Structure 1
Amino acid sequence: MTNRAALTAATAVAPVVWGTTYLVTTELLPPDHPLFAALMRALPAGALGLLLSRTLPRGAWWWKAAVLGALNIGLFFPLLFLAAERLPGGVAATLGATQPILVAVLAVIVLSERLSLWRLGWGVVGVIGVGLVVLGPGAMFDPVGIIAGLAGAAAMGTGVVLTKRWGRPEEVSAIGFAGWQLTAGGLVLLAPTLLFEGIPSRIGAPAVAGYLWLGIVGGLLAYSLWFNGLRTLPVTATALLGLLSPLVAAVLGVVVAGETLSALQLVGFAFALAALGAGQVIPRPRTRKGLPS
């Protein structure tokens, strides 16, 4: 396996882990406390990252880390949960799958990259694939939920592109970099959580296990792998890996909840997998016969 393939595989672990979030939230966590769940996923994990790395931002990285943490964590999480509350899960997942398309456009604006019609096209195929997998016949389209879903995709998409633009300080580890952003995002979530939700009246052992999974594995570990991959891999190709999240959630529904997949859903799986696979490569430009490439 080449270094590029190994890094891509390691980065893909992040969206695979994020695909377990819905199952963990519904099966283990107290109901009606999405902001508290987001806070517990971010702030303790961020503090652990700071403790392990023993590195704080310096100079301009104070405000850069705050911006990235707000976009990737502090804004993305509440918008994601709002979309999930106002829309069926399939609709919310499909809106989230638009992120690679947004990233492809933002990469042109922010990074001055040449627009990749190849990856843009496969991003559209990925949205169609995810839609076929998760959208049901009773899907509803609440305007507030749709705006929240698209805004959440835009927030994290912008955070992903800015992460690529600003890079990571050489002296900071991937865990430390993730710790900066998780801490900043957790601080953004702290006041809204205490004001609007508060702490659940009862937090049992299953909830503790759920918070530990979301924070340590789905938070610190997953974001460390994600940001480390973004440092080297093409930004739009990395964003396409995010299609794994709704697919993993659907597979867990089959394995754990006993759900079944129709033939149309299996076609959607094939579309989405083809999109994230094809998006990792750029085809060589065609050359005229007899002329060197």
Structure 2
Amino acid sequence: MLSNKWSVLFLTAVAPCVWGTTYIVAAELLPPERPLLTAVLRSLPAGVVLLVMVRRLPASGWWWKAFVLGALNIGVFFALLFIAAYRLPGGVAATIGAVQPLLVALFASHWIGEQLSVKKLTTGLTGLVGVGLLVLQAQARLDFLGVTAALGGALAMAAGVVLTKRWGRPDTLLATTSWQLIGGGIFLVPLALIIEGPPPASFTTANIVGYLYLGIIGTALAYSLWFRGIHLMPASTAAFLGLLSPLVATLCGWSILGESLTPGQILGAVIILVTLVAANTTWATPRNTFRKTSHGGRTRPSVAAKNFSNSRRLR
């Protein structure tokens, strides 16, 4: 059972690691100043392909839930993320986005009953400091709209993570992932057309390679692993793994583009790794996940524990 726990943890961590490569792929392979087009092309085609593979539509009560989750986890998040990226230095946007684990812990305590402990708050703040040291530059400038967009993106993704946990998985993993990707893509299409206009008449080979990578690896695979992890882990535990994204992005810049690392960045990377270890090593195993009731007794295992015990049934 312990090995299963760690396999869930590592497979879920693949998603934010892959997302960390998005920055270098976009910079090196994709057309400039078309972020919303990129968001559409990485979500909608991937969702359609998965839907064709599974051939399963949402039940009547799940159509609106799939759209809401798709909008929060993908549509609103991508749109606000790109606004923040254009109006803020990358370090500022990443640092503000690192508040997401704290938001998930807060939402989870109110919406799905996960305990909001001092350790979670401390770990969340420590991770925020680590990301700040890793990516924040001394000459970073602040822009009100950019800061608002970055906070809004973190709020949207945090709400999406917790609602994904709250509403559960009514069908197979690939089916529910496809619904959310399509919902997010549908949300983004009119925004992309209004703000950026129609797509280019043609794409270069590099553009096609970049879009295929983001669509297949960065979206279809990564989001499937991410949603799987959310269902099997406490929401706040999964959210801390998102700190891997700026860490991987910085390492890609250092190893591929030859960017230098300062002592402060190295310290920030170490703090992030320590934060991840602290946040995940205390993830409870099923045998000790009983919660106290309001009457002081013991009740059935938590939802997270039951989901983990059923992990082998994932399709």
TM-score bucket (shorter structure) = over 0.9
Could you report, residue by residue, the CA deviation over 1:25-47 in whole angstroms, capped at 9, with x for unpaired residues? 11100011000000001100010
The equivalent residue for 2:261 is 261
Give the Å deviation of 1:283.
8.6
- Does the CA-based 8 Å contact 1:83-1:146 persist in structure 2? yes
Could you report, residue by residue, the CA deviation over 1:214-247 in whole angstroms, capped at 9, with x for unpaired residues? 1111111000000001111011010000000000
Q: Distance in 1 between matches of 2:20 and 2:134?
A: 14
Deviates more, 1:123-132 or 1:192-201: 192-201
Give the aligned length: 282
The equivalent residue for 1:61 is 62
Q: Distance in 2 between matches of 1:210 and 1:261?
A: 26
Q: Distance in 1 between matches of 2:67 and 2:241?
A: 25
Q: Rate the CA distance shift 1:117–1:282 in 2: closer, same or farther, 3 A.
A: farther
Where structure 2 has 5 or more consecutive residues not aligned to the other structure, the ranges are: 285-315
Give the Å deviation of 1:19.
0.2
Q: Distance in 2 between matches of 1:141 and 1:223?
A: 31
- Does the CA-based 8 Å contact 2:237-2:283 persist in structure 1? no
- Does the CA-based 8 Å contact 1:30-1:200 persist in structure 2? no
- Does the CA-based 8 Å contact 1:71-1:155 persist in structure 2? yes
SS at match of 1:108: helix
Q: Distance in 1 between matches of 2:34 and 2:109?
A: 38
Is structure 2 residue 7 aligned with structure 1 residue 6? yes
Give the Å deviation of 1:119.
1.8
The equivalent residue for 1:50 is 51
- Does the CA-based 8 Å contact 1:119-1:237 persist in structure 2? no
Is structure 2 residue 238 aligned with structure 1 residue 238? yes
How high is the TM-score relative to the length of structure 2? 0.87
Where structure 1 has 5 or more consecutive residues not aligned to the other structure, the ranges are: 285-293
Paired letter, 2:179:
W
- Report 1:63-78 matches (<5 A): 63-78=64-79
Q: Give % identity.
A: 51
- Does the CA-based 8 Å contact 1:175-1:221 persist in structure 2? no
Give the Å deviation of 1:276.
1.4
Q: Distance in 1 between matches of 2:37 and 2:126?
A: 34
Could you report, residue by residue, the CA deviation over 1:77-110 in whole angstroms, capped at 9, with x for unpaired residues? 0100000000000111111111000001001111
Could you report, residue by residue, the CA deviation over 1:146-194 in whole angstroms, capped at 9, with x for unpaired residues? 000000000000000000001101xx22222111100000000011111
Q: Higher relative contact order by CA 8 Å / sep ≥ 6: 1 or 2?
A: 1
Is structure 2 residue 193 aligned with structure 1 residue 161? no
Q: Distance in 2 between matches of 1:277 and 1:201?
A: 47
Is structure 2 residue 123 aligned with structure 1 residue 135? no
CA RMSD of aligned residues (A): 1.2
Moved over 4 A (4+): none
SS at match of 2:162: helix
SS at match of 2:183: helix
The equivalent residue for 1:274 is 274
The equivalent residue for 1:287 is none
